[in-house]
Amino acid sequence: MTGPMELGGVIVPLTTPFAADETIDYGAFSRQIEWMLAEGVDGVVVGGSTGEGFTLDEEEVFALSQRALEVVAGRVPVMTSIMADSSRAAVARARQLSELPLTGLQVAPPHYIFAPDDDGLVEFYRRVAGAADFPIVIYNVISWANVRPELAVRIMDDVPQVRAVKQSDKDLGAFADLTLAVGGERVFGAIDGSLMSCYDLGAAGSIAAIASAAPGPNVSLWKTLRDHRREQAKELNRELCNLWRSLAAPNLPARVKAAQTLQGVSSGLPRSPMSAASVDCEMGIGEALKRLEACNRQSL
C-alpha cells in the first residue's frame, strides 16, 4: 500500500439544492459552500449520499464539481463522489471528471442489491483508477456490498490509487478492525453518532452528513480533541449525538437541508421521490441545533 491521502479533518458532504421544478439551484449551492468555508471545514465532497448523488446524471455531477472548484478557489480540497451501478458507468464518470483539478474521488461499490464477489470489486476499483489519475476513497456505505477490512487491504495493495476508506458502517468494532487493518490515517469516520469514538480510534478525519447539517460544531469537536480538551469534546459530542437523533431517517438528505435552512442557508428541496422534512421534524431539528450552538459557544 502507498501512503495515505494528504487529506484530513472535517470533510463535508455538500447537499444539492433543487428548485421546485427539480433543477439544480447553483446559486444556493455556491452560497452553501461559502458558508462551509466560513465555518472552517477542511474540505468538501460533491454528489455523495447527502448530496443525493444517486439522483444526479453525469452532466450534473460534472457541473456541480466544476462550480465547487470555482467557488472554493483552492482554499480547501474538493472531492467528487461516484455512485454507479456498473464498472462501465463508474468509468465513464471518472473519465469525465478527470478533466477537472479535483483532489480525489469518493467511489461507492455498485449499489444494486446483488453484491459482486471480491474479485469483481477489486476489478471495479482498478478500472475506475485507470480512468482518472486521482486518489480514490472507498465509500463503504453499501451494506450488501461492504468492503471488509481484508478486502480493503487487498484493493489498496492491488490498486495503489485507492488511498483511504470512508467507513459508514454503524459497527464500531468493524471500524476498529478497519483501522487496525489499513491504519487509522487511511480511514475517515462516517458513523455520525459516534465521531468522537472514530477520532479516538485514530481516524484521519470524517466525511459525515452531520457535518453538513452543523459544520461549525463538527469542526469544534475535531479541534477540541486535537487540543486535548476532552471535557469540552464530550459535551459537544453529546449534543451532536442529540442532533443526529433528529436527522437519522430514510429522508436524511431532506433533514440535513432543513437544518441548513434553519441556520439561514437556503438549501432548496430534495429531488423526487424524496419528500421534504415535515414541520414537526423541522421543529425537532431546530431545538437540537439551539442546544448544540449553545454548547459550541462554550467550547470556543
Residue 1 confidence class, pLDDT cut points 50, 70, 90: low
- Domain at 9-227, CATH from 3.30.420.40, 3.20.20.70, 3.40.50.2300, 3.40.50.300: 3.20.20.70
- Give pLDDT tens digits for 187-234: 999 999 999 999 999 999 999 999 999 999 999 999 999 999 999 999
- Give pLDDT tens digits for 14-52: 999 999 999 999 999 999 999 999 999 999 999 999 999
- Give pLDDT tens digits for 57-73: 999 999 999 999 999 99
Residue 259 confidence class, pLDDT cut points 50, 70, 90: very high
Task: List the single range of 108-117, 120-129, 260-269, 286-295 with lowest mean pLDDT.
Answer: 108-117
pLDDT, residue 81, reads 98
Residue 171 confidence class, pLDDT cut points 50, 70, 90: confident
pLDDT, residue 137, reads 98
Mean pLDDT over each residue of the chain, to the nearest integer = 96
| pTM of the complete model | 0.95
Query: What is the DSSP secondary-structure string of the chain?
Result: --PPPS--EEEEE----B-TTS-B-HHHHHHHHHHHHHTT-SEEEESSTTTTGGG--HHHHHHHHHHHHHHHTTSS-EEEEE--SSHHHHHHHHHHHTTS--SEEEEPPP-SSS---HHHHHHHHHHHHHH--S-EEEEE--GGG---HHHHHHHHHH-TTEEEEEE--S-HHHHHHHHHHH-GGGEEE--GGGHHHHHHTT-SEEE-HHHHH-HHHHHHHHHHHHTT-HHHHHHHHHHHHHHHHHH-STTHHHHHHHHHHHTT----BPPTTSPPPPHHHHHHHHHHHHHHHHHHHHH-
- Give pLDDT tens digits for 74-102: 999 999 999 999 999 999 999 999 999 99
Domain ranges for the chain:
9-227
